[in-house]
Amino acid sequence: MFYAVFIGAVAAVLYVLGFIAGGSFGASCAMFGAKIMKTGIPISALGSCIGMLGFYIEGTHELTMNQKHQETTD
């Protein structure tokens, strides 16, 4: 997951740099950022699928409420 977040951050920096620089350098930065994102999106989708598989295999996830963790109001 860290890899996908890192790729997104690099692409965002490239887009901002390209926007500020403008011209042909800005266009090159934007096109390189798009190329990076074309690899980052499938990687993050794969990570999401693996995470969902883990939820189904374990039978529980972080948002599951148990009797032990459930707060009661008196």
Break the chain into its structural domains and give their ranges: 2-58
Q: What is the pLDDT along the chain (74 residues), one digit of tens a residue?
A: 688 889 989 999 999 999 999 899 999 999 999 999 998 899 889 988 988 888 888 877 666 666 665 555 55
pLDDT given for residue 4 in this prediction? 82
Instruction: Evaluate whether 35 touches 20 at the Cβ level (below 8 Å).
Output: no
Q: How far apart are CA 30 and CA 45, in angstroms?
A: 22
Q: How far is CA 9 from CA 27, 64, 67, in A?
A: 18, 31, 40
